[in-house]
Chain A
Amino acid sequence: AQSVSQHNHHVILSEAASLELGCNYSYGGTVNLFWYVQYPGQHLQLLLKYFSGDPLVKGIKGFEAEFIKSKFSFNLRKPSVQWSDTAEYFCAVILNRDDKIIFGKGTRLHILP
């Protein structure tokens, strides 16, 4: 079955550290890829998405992600995190054959001030 794996369940960083959250998916066909963020007590917000074109995608709040097709990966990065980035981050995939979105289990990011 198709799945999305987020390798880090809980990440703790200090402010100004660089961030990379891993995401891999298992599906050989065409996919659309997303990263969502959920701040404490708030709803899901789209950080960035990849449909086609340049595999390096820039999103809001200084986040970016790189789609590496050969590795089935879509890792999220930010060069310098802030305390306000404390949140849960979800990688998600929509398979082009249907409309269902498959979420990873999420990574809880905690930034120390």
Chain B
Amino acid sequence: GAVVSQHPSRVICKSGTSVKIECRSLDFQATTMFWYRQFPKQSLMLMATSNEGSKATYEQGVEKDKFLINHASLTLSTLTVTSAHPEDSSFYICSVGSTGYNEQFFGPGTRLTVL
């Protein structure tokens, strides 16, 4: 399967600041990237789906102005949490896929803590 990395693995920030999380597909042309959020002891919740070169599609209830997603290339997608608040503290996980591949490969996740 594909190797997916995320950077940073952990980040602590102050309330009101913005945080950028990178997701890289190291050996796979990811036409589609997905961003998930995982609360403690809960399952993954899909936040948005992004296709390379187009705007992301957000799931219901996810604020697109708060969680900015950019998928500029087949190997990189970024998630920016703008004006972060303590309730945004969570584990953010990206995955990559490709058209017709019917499988996703997951990154190691980024733990965000907002003070």
Chain A interface residues toward B at CB < 8 A = 32, 34, 36, 42-44, 46, 49, 51, 88, 90, 94, 96, 99-101, 103-106, 108
Contacts and interface: CB of A to CB of B under 8 A. Distances in A.
B104 to A, nearest CB: 5
A99 B42 contact: no
Given A43-B93, A46-B1, A99-B32, A105 B103 contact: no
Contact of B43 (A32, A51, A96, A104): A104
Contact of A105 (B42, B101, B102): B42
- Could you tell me the dominant secondary structure of chain A's interface residues? strand
18 contacts: A32-B102, A32-B103, A43-B106, A43-B109, A44-B44, A44-B109, A46-B1, A90-B44, A94-B102, A94-B103, A99-B99, A99-B101, A99-B102, A101-B34, A103-B43, A105-B42, A105-B43, A106-B42
